[in-house]
Structure 1
Amino acid sequence: MKILGWNCRSMFSPTAVRELLELQGRTKADVIFLLESHLNKYKADEVRRVLNFDSMFVVESDGWAGGLVLFYHKINKVVLNYVSDNFIDILFMNEDIVQWRFTGFYGRPSWSERSLSWDDIRNLHCKGKHPWVVLGDFNEILLSSEKEGGNAIPNAMMRDFRNCLQEMYWQSLHLEERRN
């Protein structure tokens, strides 16, 4: 399965749609997750048709910012699990059995709300026992060496993100130990 994630920062321009079509032509993605799409359901449906997908989940933009869209094909047997302004969480099914889980995630851009993003990740992690893939823009980095130019990121911000990921890692290990 191929999944394409793109922080497109608006799909209103014909150039953005052309670029997405080109990416889809090269990757042949089975699922496309767009962040900051700035789309409503009507416009997202137009893009869906252009890309030849038959299904989608949309978190509408406020018109100026945000917006998430996940395009997929019905043959993939996808079920919407959870949704918010910052993520779309789906389950991939085989018959009536969950095979794995995917979350398209967009971290809150405001530093004052960043911890809410980590709360979202923690809550999503606790609500599933299946293999899980998270893709998106967390609006955070793990290490200062990942950033070039601009203002420095406070160490506390990066530490909170690292702590969140480490917590989930250790919880996953303990869950795996209990299963065996």
Structure 2
Amino acid sequence: MQDRRSPLRGDLASARAVRALLEIQRREKPEVFFLSETHLDKATAEKLKRSSGGLLLIWKKEVSVQCQGVSRYYVDVTKEEEEEWRLTVIYGEPRWEHKHLTYEAMRSLHSGSDLPWLMLGDFNEILFHREKEGGRARSQAQLQAFQNSLMDCGLVDIGFIGDNFTWQRGWIRERLDRGVANTQWNLLFPSAQLKNGEMVKSDHRPLVVETDGT
């Protein structure tokens, strides 16, 4: 059976991190691999598949992927299987005063296509108060801004298997990384599962999506 797994999220700041990512690659055998905050220089990144700033998307040569657009916040592609669908990998603006730029980018992407759509990565924001433990609480206005952006894009959280929190620094834990999809994508892949993997040389967990749920 074709492997349809896409592990996401990583950090290439050190050789130890690279080895950890290679271990994830060997274990999961992904078709598509997304890294954010790569810290790769431009020349190195250009030798790989598709990059934008600190974002890097890599895929197997036998996989049919067409790049639709890149920005500082996302890489947007279409993937052809039995039916064409859309994948947007994202790294959200970490600063509250600039988060509206991420949400504007999401809304702009939504207006450009009606394909089955999966968006995932590090949104750098939580949806609900229960997705944060320790540290200063988010305001309801912050949560509502994120919730509104997903609603406007017709995207809903696809759930997860594993630990509730995907990011940890000291005693603060948050669910910053997630997958969201539109109704068409959920109908196309009704058995899809997202797993919050184990933290390996990073303060984020890798996300692993299996579209066939096996």
What's the TM-score once normalised by structure 2's chain length? 0.67
Could you say what the CA RMSD is over the residues aligned between the two structures, in angstroms? 2.0
Number of aligned positions between the proteins? 154
Does residue 160 of structure 2 align to residue 136 of structure 1? no
- Conservation of the 8 A alpha-carbon contact between 1:91 and 1:98: no
Shift of 1:108: 0.6
- Conservation of the 8 A alpha-carbon contact between 2:8 and 2:33: yes
Does residue 64 of structure 2 align to residue 77 of structure 1? yes
Larger helix fraction of residues: 1
SS in 2 for 1:42: helix
After superposition, give the CA deviation of every residue in 1:73-117 in whole Å (9 maximum; x if it has no partner). 2211211101101100011136xx970111110111111010111
Aligned to 2:52: 59
Higher relative contact order (CA 8 A, sep 6+): 2
- Conservation of the 8 A alpha-carbon contact between 2:10 and 2:21: no
Shift of 1:145: 0.8
Does residue 84 of structure 2 align to residue 105 of structure 1? no
Identity fraction in percent: 37
Mapped partners of 2:31, 2:63: distance in 1 = 8
Larger Rg: 1
After superposition, give the CA deviation of every residue in 1:114-156 in whole Å (9 maximum; x if it has no partner). 0111111111011111111111111110001100111111110
Mapped partners of 2:33, 2:145: distance in 1 = 29
Moved over 4 A (4+): none
What's the TM-score once normalised by structure 1's chain length? 0.78
Does residue 78 of structure 2 align to residue 91 of structure 1? yes
- Conservation of the 8 A alpha-carbon contact between 2:126 and 2:143: yes
Instruction: Provide structure 1 residue ranges, at least 5 long, that are not aligned to the other structure.
Output: 47-54, 61-66, 174-180
SS in 1 for 2:9: strand
Mapped partners of 2:149, 2:8: distance in 1 = 22
Aligned to 2:102: 117
Aligned to 2:16: 15
Relative distance call for 1:137 and 1:30 in structure 2 (3 A) is same
